[in-house]
Structure 1
């Protein structure tokens, strides 16, 4: 028997927030390649890094695993440069291009643990349009799993948490969305057990959208998932 939260649903919201890596963009191969090279270069535990780093700001992962006394800023900058120059195999998840095109730009935002340069690189490599509103690593003081990024994006779009849905794939991002009080659609099979107010999709192939203007000039968006 399926969990009730796994059943198909129609979500009506005023804003839609997306994580990037693993949610809109499949960058798993390049992420694992970069982290493996970085870990080997600096003698770090690659298995533990890959287990815990997904959805988390790179600087937070470097801070957690770097040897005592290491130059954290230099290591983070080194990792960032490696990430920005690797785009082989970066592709959009099925249906992501059509979904973004169907949604009103003024009602969507990207909320990613990547910095703005890396976000631009990966979205462009995947052939996806960057939403006008994007909350990247530089825009927050606390990265995921803290809810700051999602709360900031909702505020920029003029929507309260109860009127927002978040698409996420990683445990840290899911925790951030849930802490922000937002309904959450888990993309893929990560993220653990679903709770009330959560749904799961494989990708966006079967997601449909209806968006209409309301009397206040905003949007009412219905997502069939």
Structure 2
């Protein structure tokens, strides 16, 4: 059994919190919509169809699904070029600094469909600390909704999956976390509550999730 199937034998029982990035820490919804619409029209694809396959997924996975005839890596570079044109249009949510400051000495990390250098740049630009653990799209063979990324993060934090609380905003991310045997709080920042019913709890904002985060990290080890 690999380390991604279970946490290593020397893991303890401490609780941890794992955050998605886009839609949870970074308010990127409108910007990404512009980028993907531009890419879709660039290839005469239906923007609505393309957009429906982007949430919580790696760009290369989106491209592979909506345009399997195209060179995935080449098109990902096109998407990245469009992203560069957007400059600094990726602000962090107003309550993100307070939440991460409150738990900075606890176990936490991020699991993202983006790439680490870009994610760190956006978090730092918003005054957020570097995550102790950051699992990005290059560290997994399969992106969300596969649980690999969340299981890797649990392994790096030496925390059993069932002791991890995940903060997500997209159905694919919720599915990944549930498959990893983790508890999920969904934020309605990018999807309606009706689209997030796979989560254990649903709230409007990251700040609204803070009481459950504090409770989770304070729960005695069973």
Fold shared, TM-score > 0.5 on shorter chain: yes
Structure 1 partner of 2:163? 163
CA-to-aligned-CA distance 1:93-112 (integer Å, 9 cap, x gap):
23211111111356111100
Q: Which residue of 1 aligns with 2:36?
A: 35
**Aligned-pair Cα RMSD in Å:** 2.4
Q: Give the structure with the larger helix fraction.
A: 2
Spell out the pairing of 1:60-99 with structure 2 (5 A cutoff).
60-66=61-67, 68=69, 70-99=70-99
Name 1:202's counterpart in structure 2: 204
Unaligned runs of 5+ in 1: 1-11, 212-219
Q: Which stretch of the first structure deviates more once superposed, 96-105 or 197-206? A: 197-206
Q: Does residue 221 in structure 1 map to residue 217 in structure 2?
A: yes
Task: List gaps (5 residues or longer) in structure 2.
Answer: 1-12
SS in 1 for 2:60: helix
Distance 1:193 1:36 in 2: 24
CA contact (8 A) 1:16 1:109 kept: yes
Q: How far 1:169 moved relative to its partner?
A: 0.3
Deviation string 1:32-89 (CA, Å, 9 cap, x unpaired) is 1111111111112210111221110000111111262x22211111212322442444
Give the whole-Å Cα distance in 2 for the aligned partners of 1:40 and 1:105: 45
Q: How does 1:1-225 map to 2 (within 5 A)?
A: 14-66=15-67, 68=69, 70-105=70-105, 107-188=107-188, 189-190=191-192, 192-194=195-197, 198-206=200-208, 207-208=210-211, 210=214, 221-222=217-218
**Are 2:15 and 2:217, in contact at CA under 8 Å, matched by a contact in 1?**
yes
Structure 1 residues 38 and 201, CA gap change in structure 2 (3 angstroms): same
Structure 2: distance between partners of 1:118 and 1:176: 22
Is the contact between residue 154 and residue 160 of structure 1 (CA under 8 Å) also seen in structure 2? yes
Distance 1:141 1:190, change over 3 A: farther
Alignment TM-score, normalising by the size of structure 1: 0.81
Q: 1:17 aligns to what SS in structure 2? A: strand
Higher strand proportion: 1
Equivalent pair of 1:30/1:87 in contact (CA under 8 Å): no
How many pairs are equivalent?
A: 202
1:117, 1:145 → 2: CA distance? 22
Q: 2:214, 2:106 → 1: CA distance?
A: 15
Separation in 2, partners of 1:129, 1:154: 19
What is the distance in 1 between the residues matched to 2:62 and 2:24?
20
**Aligned equivalents of 2:105 and 2:152: distance in 1?**
17
Question: 1:126 deviation in Å?
Answer: 3.3
Distance in 2, matches of 1:116 and 1:193, equals 26
